[in-house]
């Protein structure tokens, strides 16, 4: 366990080393947040609400989803593919650690660094813009939100790892990731709440994993999900996590059988 803690800490230290790059990355996140934030301000400026969202709810949604996105989507799994392609994987296979555990620890280090910056950014954005926001005071809802975020973190790790392991079969590791993130950027609820979509589409998206990465946790926080909806949401999210876990282990095993490297 201590090894993985050291890996997470090393990731933190590594990010401190490349501070300029990281700062630029965070500035980019703030710009993306401001674009979405002002769009929703503009569409609620006359009526004070849109779809089933009051202005305070939708602005809390935008800020909340940005914070949850910082936690869920900060990952290092994209380096897995490069690792396999350039043969560095061989070095890890002889080390006394689990390869997937190593990357999960890297993810955790990366997430803590991102969370600390995201908190600071959101505080500054809040102090500058002073939006009316919705504060959830129900302890149960807050706990359920945290649990939903943890499930989302694990799910994103499984999906990110699977996209990395594509490298066992193809040197093209960026294109599948690009497609995935294009889909995620719209269907995880990062730009808009999924319940503004037609009901038939909502039913389809409730069965896919995307919505459980951002939309589900934030709507629990906003108190927009019924008890039955929460139960159903957690059930589907857990089923996806179990499925992706076993799929990842299977892909890792057959990938390793295919793997070969020269000169390492």
Q: Using CB under 8 A, which of the segments 1-9, 60-68, 96-104, 168-176 binds another protein?
A: 168-176
> Does position 223 bind another protein by CB under 8 A?
no
Sign for the pseudo-dihedral over CA of 94, 99, 103, 104: negative
> Does position 126 bind another protein by CB under 8 A?
no
85, 136, 185, 206: which one binds another protein (CB under 8 A): 185
Q: Using CB under 8 A, which of the segments 91-99, 102-110, 176-184, 205-213 binds another protein?
A: 176-184
> Does position 132 bind another protein by CB under 8 A?
no
Q: Please state the closest distance from residue 207 (CB atom) to another protein, in A.
A: 19
- Shortest CA distance to 154 belongs to which of 71, 215, 78? 71
Q: Using CB under 8 A, which of the segments 38-46, 59-67, 136-144, 236-244 binds another protein?
A: 38-46
Q: Rule CB under 8 A: which of 50-79 touch another protein?
A: 50-51
Q: CB of 166 within 8 A of CB of 92? A: no
Which two tokens mark 233?
């949401």
- Tallying the residues shown for the chain, one arrives at 264
Nearer to another protein, 52 or 91 (CB): 52
- Shortest CA distance to 213 belongs to which of 187, 247, 239? 187
How many Cβ atoms are within 10 Å of 251's Cβ, its own excluded?
17
CA of 140: how far to CAs of 68, 143, 147, 229, 230, in Å?
A: 18, 5, 11, 15, 12
Q: Annotate 140-166 with DSSP letters as a single string.
A: HHHHHHHHHHHHHHHHHHHHHHHHHHG
Nearer to another protein, 174 or 246 (CB): 174
Binding residues vs another protein (CB under 8 A): 20-21, 24-25, 27-28, 31-32, 34-35, 38-39, 41-43, 46, 50-51, 170-172, 174-176, 178-179, 182-183, 185-186, 191-192, 196-197
């Amino acid at each position: 366990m201590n090894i993985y803690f050291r890996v997470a800490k090393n990731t933190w230290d590594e990010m401190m080393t490349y501070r300029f790059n990281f700062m630029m990355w965070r500035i980019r996140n703030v710009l993306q947040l401001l674009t979405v934030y002002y769009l929703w301000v503009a569409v609620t400026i006359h009526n004070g609400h849109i779809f089933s969202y009051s202005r305070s709810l939708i602005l809390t949604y935008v800020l909340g989803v940005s914070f949850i996105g910082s936690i869920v989507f900060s990952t290092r799994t994209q380096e897995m593919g490069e690792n396999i392609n350039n043969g560095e994987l061989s070095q890890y296979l002889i080390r006394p650690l689990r390869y997937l555990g190593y990357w999960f620890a890297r993810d955790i280090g990366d997430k803590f660094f991102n969370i600390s910056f995201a908190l600071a950014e959101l505080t500054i954005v809040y102090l500058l813009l002073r939006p009316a926001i919705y504060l959830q005071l129900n302890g149960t809802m807050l706990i359920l939100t945290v649990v939903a975020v943890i499930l989302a973190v694990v799910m994103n790790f499984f999906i990110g790892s699977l996209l990395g392991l594509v490298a066992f079969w193809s040197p093209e590791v960026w294109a599948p990731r690009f497609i995935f993130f294009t889909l995620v950027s719209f269907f995880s609820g990062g730009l808009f709440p999924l319940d503004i979509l037609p009901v038939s589409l909502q039913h389809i998206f409730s069965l896919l994993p995307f919505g459980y990465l951002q939309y589900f946790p934030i709507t629990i926080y906003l108190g927009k999900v019924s008890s039955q909806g929460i139960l159903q949401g957690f059930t589907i999210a857990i089923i996806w996590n179990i499925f992706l876990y076993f799929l990842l282990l299977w892909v890792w095993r057959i990938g390793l059988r295919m793997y070969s490297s020269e000169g390492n």
